[in-house]
């Protein structure tokens, strides 16, 4: 990987566009409607730099992570989705795991939100993102950016899924057409990225190789539980602000809340979006 710094964005911080301001307002408003008695917690606001061929970004996506407080009263996932629908969003996908986790996505125009509810109904988080905003050259939208991928971006195309030499456009011949490209798909088009076959992501084998290279080949080791937080929301806010040992903070946290020996045990796990390390944190919380 050539761009593995993650937390340190190259260049100046981009100006916040109106689209990001609007999205943040929508998320806070919907979260407030769900729990009028609690101020929603904005855990993190950040950007995903978007690369084309050069290391310098050509555009940015703006993202926000909110925690809908659920410590004293779990918020059913359907209530969250109904609140999005009432605000004009469309629920696009919905799936649930066997132990009570659930994932859903809602969209409105080019904006997306991922709604996650942990096992044990400990936590509901909202991750919202804008379309990629370009500084100069107006490109289309990549398949993924680093935070929205369910995996690690391909080294060759950085999540675009297409060959960046021909832009994925077929060879059209003639003087006004696009030149013939080295990529296998170009004559017939579209010129898919040869490294990832158009998925935009590393394969499971490449991810495992990356993980081994970073010394993470013992996924079963569990850190001892940490004390010092009295709510799962507090624990989540702490976890969401911790970087991986590689410096990257981007990952999609999952949470399991269980009751053991007179206290609650909150377990977080995620895969780093840059080095593939499997990250875990456990907290011992008081029973209410």
Q: What residues line the site for Zn ion (CB under 5 A)? A: 154, 156-157, 163, 165-166, 181, 183, 186, 191, 193, 195-196, 244, 246, 248, 272, 274-275, 277
In whole angstroms, the minimum distance from the beta carbon of 163 to Zn ion comes to 3
Name which of 6 and 122 has its Cβ closer to Zn ion: 6
Name which of 167 and 234 has its Cβ closer to Zn ion: 167
Name which of 101 and 248 has its Cβ closer to Zn ion: 248
In whole angstroms, the minimum distance from the beta carbon of 169 to Zn ion comes to 8
In whole angstroms, the minimum distance from the beta carbon of 250 to Zn ion comes to 9
In whole angstroms, the minimum distance from the beta carbon of 161 to Zn ion comes to 6
Output phi, psi for 37, to 5 deg: -85, -10
Name which of 82 and 141 has its Cβ closer to Zn ion: 141
Name which of 7 and 85 has its Cβ closer to Zn ion: 7
In whole angstroms, the minimum distance from the beta carbon of 125 to Zn ion comes to 20
HSE-CB at 150 with a 13 A cutoff on CA atoms is: 4
Peptide bond just before 190 cis, omega within 30 deg: yes
**Nearest alpha carbon to residue 219 among 260, 141, 184, 271:** 271
């Amino acid at each position: 990987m050539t761009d593995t710094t993650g937390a340190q964005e190259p260049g100046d911080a981009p100006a916040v566009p109106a689209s990001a301001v609007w999205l943040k307002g929508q998320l806070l408003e919907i979260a407030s409607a769900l729990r009028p008695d609690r101020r929603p917690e904005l855990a993190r606001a950040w950007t995903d730099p978007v690369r084309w061929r050069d290391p310098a970004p050509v555009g940015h996506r703006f993202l926000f992570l909110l925690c809908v407080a659920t410590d004293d009263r779990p918020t059913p996932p359907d209530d969250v989705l109904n609140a999005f629908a009432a605000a004009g969003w469309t629920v696009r996908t919905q799936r649930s795991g066997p132990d009570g986790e659930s994932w859903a996505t809602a969209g409105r125009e080019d904006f997306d939100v991922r709604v996650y509810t942990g096992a044990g109904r400990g936590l509901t988080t909202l991750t919202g993102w804008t379309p990629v905003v370009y500084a100069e050259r107006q490109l289309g939208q990549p398949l993924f950016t680093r935070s929205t991928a369910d995996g690690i971006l391909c080294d060759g195309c950085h999540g675009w899924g297409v060959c960046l030499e021909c832009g994925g456009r077929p060879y059209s011949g003639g003087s006004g057409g696009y030149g013939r490209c080295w990529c296998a798909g170009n004559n017939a088009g579209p010129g898919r990225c040869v490294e990832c076959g158009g998925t935009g992501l590393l394969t499971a084998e490449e991810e495992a190789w990356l993980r081994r290279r970073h010394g993470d080949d013992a996924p079963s080791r569990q850190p001892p539980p940490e004390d010092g937080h009295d709510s799962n929301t507090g624990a989540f806010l702490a976890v969401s602000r911790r970087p991986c040992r590689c410096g990257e903070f981007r990952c999609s946290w999952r949470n399991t809340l269980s009751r053991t020996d007179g206290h609650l045990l909150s377990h977080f796990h995620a895969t780093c979006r840059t080095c593939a390390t499997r990250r875990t944190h456990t907290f011992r919380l008081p029973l209410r």
